[in-house]
């Protein structure tokens, strides 16, 4: 199956995973690119998006597998036509045919932007770096089946804290994203739990890249 890599930024971040599938199905149709359909009682257009992205999170490295009916169309042509049929905030970066199996995805890079309206408290960057240097960091994981406690340290491959301006801290982390996966907002939850005085006024999150187990870029 061919694969495409796309960005989800700006206002498009508010579109849920399920809705995004529909957005793509219709965009394919508008672009004159007929999708094949699944077999069975209720045939569905064959598009699948790897690693569902939570609502509100930006990404520049989303992967979507699809399958087209009819004559072969060059990948760059598919890319061009889709971008002409997609809404602002969703942009196809590349279409390719030789994608690896999704199960080989292991890590992803994410950036958390912590906004402090009254200015970043002094020593915050250092305190946060020290927090993530601990051996163990237990954070409550909220799910539909109730809350569980989770030690997030083993799922953080690397983490840096930057202080780009007086009101912002950036946490760049490489985290596990499959078996097990870490919700990229959990480092922020750890700060709220262990350093409540450093709780930011707002946190934005962005996915930057996905990797395999050897930490080479996953395609």
Partner 1 sequence: MTELKKRILPTVQKPARYIGGEWGEIKKDKQAVDVRVAFCFPDTYEIGMSNVGMRILYGVMNRMEGVWCERVFAPWGDMEVQMRNHALPLWALESQDPVCDFDMIAFTIGYEMSYSNIVNMLDLAGVPIHSRDRQELKNIVFAGGVCAFNPEPLADFIDFFSIGEGEESTQEIVSLYQKAKKEGWNKDAFLRAVSKIQGVYVPSFYAPEYNADGTLRKLEVKEDAPPVVTKRIVENLDTAFFPTEMIVPSTEIVHDRANLEIFRGCIRGCRFCQAGFSCRPVRRKHPEVLYRQAVEMLENSGNNEITLSSLSTSDYRGLKELTDQLLPYCEANRVSLSVPSLRADNFSRELMEKLQAVRKSGLTFAPEAGTQRLRDVINKNLQEEEILSTCAQAFAGGWNNVKLYFMLGLPTETDEDVLGIAELVYKVVQAWKENAANKKRGLRVHVATAYFVPKPHTPFQWEAQITPQEYLRRCKLLKEHFYSKSIEYDYHSTELSRLEAVFARGDRRLGAVIEDAVKHGARLDGWDEYFRYDIWQDAFSRCGIPMEFYTTRGYGEDELLPWDVIDVGVSKRFLLLERHRAYDGRVTPDCRHGCAGCGANGLLKEVACDA
Residues that bind partner 1 (CB under 8 A): 10-12, 14-16, 18-19, 22-23, 25-30, 34, 37, 43, 45, 55-56, 85-89, 115, 117, 167, 201-202, 204
Burial of 195 (0-12, 13-18, 19+ CB in 10 A): middle
Nearer to partner 1, 42 or 179 (CB): 42
Structure tokens at 105: 């995805």
Nearer to partner 1, 111 or 176 (CB): 111
Angle formed at CA 96 by CA 90 and CA 98, multiple of 5 degrees: 140
Distance CA 156, CA 181 (A): 10
Nearer to partner 1, 62 or 105 (CB): 62
Least separation in angstroms between residue 105's CB and partner 1 is 25
Least separation in angstroms between residue 30's CB and partner 1 is 4
Nearer to partner 1, 11 or 151 (CB): 11
Least separation in angstroms between residue 46's CB and partner 1 is 12
Least separation in angstroms between residue 216's CB and partner 1 is 33
**Residue 77 to residues 24, 89, 92, 96, 206: CA-CA distances in angstroms?**
16, 20, 11, 11, 28
Distance CA 76, CA 9 (A): 22
Nearer to partner 1, 174 or 207 (CB): 207
Consecutive H or E run containing 22:
helix 17-30
Least separation in angstroms between residue 151's CB and partner 1 is 26
**Residue 126 to residues 76, 162, 204, 211: CA-CA distances in angstroms?**
46, 9, 20, 28
Spatial neighbors of 145 by CB under 8 A, at least 6 apart, are: none
């Amino acid at each position: 199956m061919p694969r495409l890599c796309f960005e989800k930024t700006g206002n498009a971040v508010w579109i849920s995973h399920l809705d995004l599938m529909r957005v793509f199905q219709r965009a394919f149709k508008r672009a004159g690119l007929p999708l094949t359909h699944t077999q069975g009682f209720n045939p569905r257009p064959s598009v699948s998006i790897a690693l569902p992205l939570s609502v509100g999170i930006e990404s520049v490295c989303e992967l979507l597998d699809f399958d087209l009916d009819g004559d072969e169309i060059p990948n760059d042509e598919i890319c061009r036509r889709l971008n002409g049929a997609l809404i602002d905030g969703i942009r196809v970066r590349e279409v390719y045919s030789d994608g690896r199996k999704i199960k080989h995805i292991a890590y992803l890079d994410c950036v958390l932007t912590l906004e402090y309206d009254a200015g970043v408290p002094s020593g915050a960057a250092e305190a946060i770096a020290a927090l993530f240097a601990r051996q163990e960091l237990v954070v409550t994981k909220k799910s539909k089946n109730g809350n569980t406690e989770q030690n997030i340290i083993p799922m953080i491959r690397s983490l840096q804290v930057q202080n780009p301006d007086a009101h912002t801290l950036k946490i760049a982390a490489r985290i596990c994203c499959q078996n097990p996966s870490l919700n990229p907002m959990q480092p922020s939850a750890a700060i709220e739990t262990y350093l409540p005085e450093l709780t930011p006024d707002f946190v934005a999150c962005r996915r930057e890249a996905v990797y395999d187990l050897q930490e080479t870029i996953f395609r």
